Structure formats: C-alpha cells, structure tokens
Amino acid sequence: MKVLLAGGAGYIGSHTAIEIAKLGHEIVIADDFSNSKPEAVNRIRTIIGADFPFYEIDIADKEKLRALFAAEKPEAVIHFAGYKAVGESVRKPVAYYRNNLDTTLTLLEVMKEYGCRNLIFSSSATVYGAPDEVPIKETAAVGRCTNPYGWTKYMIEVILKDVAVADPDISVVLLRYFNPVGAHESGLIGEDPQGIPNNLMPYISQVAIGKLACLSVFGNDYPTKDGTGVRDYIHVVDLARGHACAIDYAAAHKGVEVFNLGTSVGYSVLDMVNAFETANGVKVPYKIAPRREGDIAECFADATKSRELLGWKAEKTLVDMCRDSWNWQSKNPNGYDA
Ligand code: UFG
C-alpha cells in the first residue's frame, strides 16, 4: 500500500517509516521540521537503502497537502503530525489546540477529497488520565486529562469517532501509545529532544553521557513498589511494527477501532536507572526530587486486544531498550546536529 506518514521525520514516524518500508509498503513522508531534522530523512533513506518522496510542508497547509495528494495518491495516512511536549502545552495551549486539531481536520478534508479512506492516528495513554485500575484496557474511562496536549489527543479521538459514524467507508485506527523509548539498532535514528529533555529515558541518556549532571527522580512516595512512578516503557521499533499491523487492520475493516500499544509490564523510575546502568556499564547519578505536577503513580497497558485483533505484541526487552537508547545517544551526542 502507498502510505503517507504525516510528521514522519519525528521520533516515532522515522522508526515507523523503516518498519513499513521493510514490509513492502511504498512510503511518502511529509514534515515541516518543527520538531525534527532533515538529517533524519537522510538516515531513513540510508537504512532503507532506497529513495522515497519527501515533502517539507505543514500538514495544516491545505493547498500544499492537496498538491501532495494529487501527486502521490496515498491509500493510507499515519498521522504523527502534532506537538507533544506536556509542559509546553500548559504554557502555550492555543498553539497546541490550533496545531494538533488543524493538522487533523485538514488531513480529513483532503483525504475525503482524494478518496483516501484509511487513517491511523498517534494517540496516547494520556487519554486515560489517572486510571481507576491497571493494567488499562481500551474500554477504561477516557478524559480527565491533566494538560492541553492530552486534551488534544482526546479531542482528536472524539473527532475521528464522529467522522467514522458519518462516513461508513472510512477506516480509522486509534493507537494509544504508552512510553516509547529506545532507538533503531543501527544507532542512525533515535529520539532528538530539543533542549533539556522532559522524558525519563532521554534524560537518563544525557546524564550518562555527561551532558546533564544528575537525574531528578520526581517523587519516591507514590504507592508503588519502590515509591517511584511506574510506566509501560515500549521499544520504539515494537511500536513502529504496531503501525504496520494497524495498516493491515484498517485495510480489512471499516469503522473505528482503538488499540493500546504497550508491553503490559510496568517498571519504576529506579528500575529504569538500574537497568540502564547494568545494560551499558555506565553510571547515572540521581537524586530524589519532589513529585512533578500532573504525574500519576502507575500506568501500564493491557495489550490483549492488540495481540488478538492486530496480531501484534511487543517483543523487545528492557535490556534492548536501554542498550539501543545508549547506542543512539553515544553515537550521536548532539542528536542529528553534527
Ligand atoms: N521522571 C523522572 N525524572 C525525569 C523525567 C521523568 O523521575 O527527569 C519520571 C516521571 O515522574 C514518571 C516517569 O519518569 O514517573 C516517566 O516520565 P516521562 O516524562 O518519561 O513520561 P510520562 O509517563 O510522564 O509521559 C509520557 C509521554 C506523554 C504521554 C504519556 C502517556 O511523555 O507524551 O507518556 O502515558 F502522554
């Protein structure tokens, strides 16, 4: 199938491009580099060993998106094009609502115009807010988000469900990601956060390489096994493979379906620090700091539905996640910048 990856130069998009190209799909990437780098596109080409069309456009630019659809005629779209920093979304809510909703609405309008009926959306476990119980099933309550970023994911899910009701020919797959970490095993592509990282794994990597002095562990008084927050860390290559399964699912089904992409296993912050040190033979100095506002104690998936309906499950281990994160960080201490 010919697949457009909207926002495909970013962390998850770049890994997905490789996994789906490997399966024989034709790929087209569109990205405005607002949170990614042109070098990522070069490296995707190196890993795949082939060229593909790339468009430097803002997905919310309707005329440019139309031109892309007219030229490429994609049969499916994977929609990664959105802002994703939780803290920034609190400071710039209008920019987040504008960008994340506009890209989605523009894609929907142009897809309809050009008869493209398959859409895979990058949603997030953040739509569950503070869950009533773990592991979290897809049927758990959604909403109760704690920041504008989370609300954009929630709102886009609502929009896509409405679209699927109104248009019986469309297929929509909502993928709720848990905590993506790791990198492609080549060390050529990986997560390249702007400025000081917000997320745990890039922060640990930058402490290990000496760019940052010390990890702050946000809270050790949660009701978890060691008091630190527990999350479902998933290797980004496993997550990328989930998108390939979602393309097949969308092609075979109409309507809207939602899937958790997680491992179903929760690890604490201290588990992650220890695993990273052991896997890579490095030191990660840390100190206990106050809780971070908006954080929850525990969040991990019940991924049974993805196994049963998508035929997908996470295969990589915690050691793989730590080793591949470090491989990327140590080979690219400044990310994609030379
Ligand atoms: N943490 C620290 N120190 C840090 C960074 C994080 O102790 O410097 C802790 C957090 O308190 C939390 C855990 O590490 O317990 C994971 O934090 P992340 O920031 O890596 O990830 P979150 O679970 O907060 O958020 C992630 C994504 C969101 C997404 C959410 C879905 O960043 O985009 O998962 O559950 F919405």
State residue 31's pLDDT score.
98
Model confidence pLDDT, tens digit, residues 57-77: 999 999 999 999 999 999 999
Between the CA of 53 and the centroid of ligand 1 the distance, in Å, is: 34
- Beta strand residue intervals within the chain, DSSP E: 2-6, 26-30, 54-55, 76-79, 118-124, 171-177, 179-181, 215-218, 230-231, 233-235, 255-261, 267-268, 286-289, 298-299
What mean pLDDT value characterizes the chain?
Answer: 97
By DSSP bridging, strand 230-231 and strand 215-218 are unpaired
Cα 117 off chain centre by: 22
Q: Are 260 and 176 in contact (CB under 8 A)?
A: yes
State residue 15's pLDDT score.
98
Model confidence pLDDT, tens digit, residues 163-206: 999 999 999 999 999 999 999 999 999 999 999 999 999 999 99
Model confidence pLDDT, tens digit, residues 92-151: 999 999 999 999 999 999 999 999 999 999 999 999 999 999 999 999 999 999 999 999
Place of tokens 């773990």: 134
In this structure, which residue's CA is closest to atom 30 in ligand 1?
A: 126
Closest CA to 6 of 95, 69, 96: 69
Q: Which residues are catalytic?
A: 149
Choice from 96, 218, 226, 263 to test ligand 1 binding pocket (greatest atom count within 8 A of CB): 218
Q: Please give the C-alpha separations between residue 285 and each of 165, 205, 270, 276, 324, in angstroms, as whole numbers.
A: 52, 11, 11, 12, 20
198 Cβ below 6 A of ligand 1: yes
Closest CA to 218 of 292, 150, 274: 292
Model confidence pLDDT, tens digit, residues 235-258: 999 999 999 999 999 999 999 999
Choice from 149, 200, 239 to test ligand 1 binding pocket (greatest atom count within 8 A of CB): 200
In this structure, which residue's CA is closest to atom 12 in ligand 1?
A: 229
43 Cβ below 6 A of ligand 1: no
Residues contacting residue 241 through CB under 8 Å, at least 6 positions apart: 19, 312
181 Cβ below 6 A of ligand 1: no
State residue 171's pLDDT score.
98
Place of tokens 């075979």: 252
Residues contacting residue 305 through CB under 8 Å, at least 6 positions apart: 137, 138, 259, 260
| Banded model confidence at residue 221, pLDDT cuts 50, 70, 90 | very high
State residue 338's pLDDT score.
78
State residue 212's pLDDT score.
97
- Ranges of H-type helices in 10-120: 11-22, 38-48, 62-72, 86-91, 93-113
Encode burial over 305-329: b for 16+ CB neighbours within 10 A, e otherwise.
Answer: bbeeebebbbebebebbbbbbbbbb
Atom of ligand 1 lying closest to residue 294 CA: 24
Atom of ligand 1 lying closest to residue 201 CA: 20
State residue 147's pLDDT score.
95
Residue range 310-338: average pLDDT?
97
Does the pLDDT value for residue 33 go beyond 90?
A: yes
Choice from 199, 217, 263 to test ligand 1 binding pocket (greatest atom count within 8 A of CB): 199
117 Cβ below 6 A of ligand 1: no
126 Cβ below 6 A of ligand 1: yes
Q: Are 26 and 2 in contact (CB under 8 A)?
A: yes
- Three-state secondary structure call for residue 119: strand
| Banded model confidence at residue 208, pLDDT cuts 50, 70, 90 | very high
| Banded model confidence at residue 162, pLDDT cuts 50, 70, 90 | very high
Residue range 310-334: average pLDDT?
98
Residue range 287-312: average pLDDT?
97
Between the CA of 256 and the centroid of ligand 1 the distance, in Å, is: 28
CB atoms within 10 A of CB 270: 18
